[in-house]
Structure 1
Amino acid sequence: MANYYCENCGTKASSVSSLTSSSCYRHPNGAGKGKHKLYEGSEKSQYTCKYCGTKSSSISSLTNNSCYRHPNGAGKGKHAPSL
C-alpha cells in the first residue's frame, strides 16, 4: 500500500483524498488556512530542500525550519522538499 505525504508538513495518509481533505498546520498562508498539499515525489531515505540543499530524513523535519534561500527572503519561508 502506498503512502502519501503533505509537501508542507510531512503528514502521512493512505490515500490522496484523505490527505487533501484535512487542514495543514504548516500551510504557507498560516495554520488552518489551507489543506494539505500532495508531495508528488517518491519516498526517500533523505529529502533535500529545493532552495538550499539542506537534507533531512523526513519531510516533517525538513519543513520544520526556515530556509535562508527561500524565494520570499531569508527566514520568510520554510524548506521545501525537491522531487
Structure 2
Amino acid sequence: MSNFYCEYCGTKSASISGLTANSCHRHPLGSGKGKHKLYEGSEKSKYSCKYCGTSASTISGLTANSCHRHPIGTGKGKHVAAL
C-alpha cells in the first residue's frame, strides 16, 4: 500500500483524498489557511531542499526550518522538498 505525503509539512495519509481534505499547519499562507498539498515525488531515505540542498530523513523534518535561499527571502519561507 502506498503512502501519500504533504509537500508542506510531511503529514502522511493512506489516500490522496484523505490528505488533501485537511488543513495544513505549515501552509505558505499560514496555519489553517490552506489544505495539505500532495508531494508528488517518491518515498526516499533522505529529502533535500530544492533551494539550498539541506537534507533530512523526513519531509516533516526538512520543512520545519526556514530556508536561507528561499525565493521570497532569507528566513521568510520553509525548506521545500525536491522531487
| TM-score strictly above 0.5 | yes
Write the mapping of 1:35-74 to structure 2, written as runs, cut at 5 A: 35-74=35-74
How much has 1:13 moved relative to structure 2? 0.1
1:7-43 residue CA offsets vs partner (Å, 9 max, x unmatched): 0000000000000000000000000000000000000
1:42-68 residue CA offsets vs partner (Å, 9 max, x unmatched): 000000000000000000000000000
Quote the Cα distance in structure 1 between the aligned partners of 2:68 and 2:27: 18
Tell me if 1:15 matches 2:15: yes
- Unmatched 5+ stretches in structure 1: none
Quote the Cα distance in structure 1 between the aligned partners of 2:62 and 2:54: 8
Structure 2 counterpart SS, 1:18: helix
- Unmatched 5+ stretches in structure 2: none
Aligned residues: 83
Percent of pairs with identical residues: 70
User: After TM superposition, what 4+ stretches of structure 1 lie above 6 angstroms from structure 2?
Assistant: none
Structure 2 counterpart SS, 1:52: coil
- Aligned residue type for 2:30: G
- Aligned residue type for 1:58: T
